Structure 1
Amino acid sequence: MSDPGSRQMRRRQNFVPLSKIQTRVPTPQQLAGARSAAASVEGECIPALEAVDCPECYTKVVEYLFGATFLCDTSDTGKAVTFHPQV
């Protein structure tokens, strides 16, 4: 522990209890909408969850962090997916 008189800044840390997090996984309708939006501009997109490999004990954390994220091959595809009404 540091000296109380020192002026060192403490690091800020955030903890999210696994029992409290709510995962955000895209619905089949959102997946279909994202794929059709990407196809409309001749691009490709996948849910970020398909690109992340982790031990099963961390699945809930990864779903919390990346569940609502899509990976797109171009910025035009990303814009089409982002602003598609079904996504």
Structure 2
Amino acid sequence: MATVKLSGKGQVVIPAAIRQALNLTAGDRLNVTLDNGRVVMEKLPVAATWQEIIAQIPVEQVVLDEVGHYDVDRAPHFDRWLHSEK
């Protein structure tokens, strides 16, 4: 565990060992939240990571017949979404 000091501007320095372990570099963006009195910082994905995330989103073509039915086997994600409770 490392101890850091809060500056007059509210800034803290993340210790080098933690920056290295999390592969943080200058310019990285962090999401900062409060969780039960604890400050939590998480590295936001960079553009390349977003592209990888988006590429993993399943894409289906949902074809409806003349009465509005679709083939569940050809559109299982759509079917799960359609029947999920909000």
TM-score (norm 2): 0.26
| TM-score, with structure 1 as normaliser | 0.25
Structure with greater strand percent: 2
Whichever structure has more helix as a proportion of its residues is: 1
- Pick 1 or 2: higher relative contact order, CA cutoff 8 A, min separation 6: 1
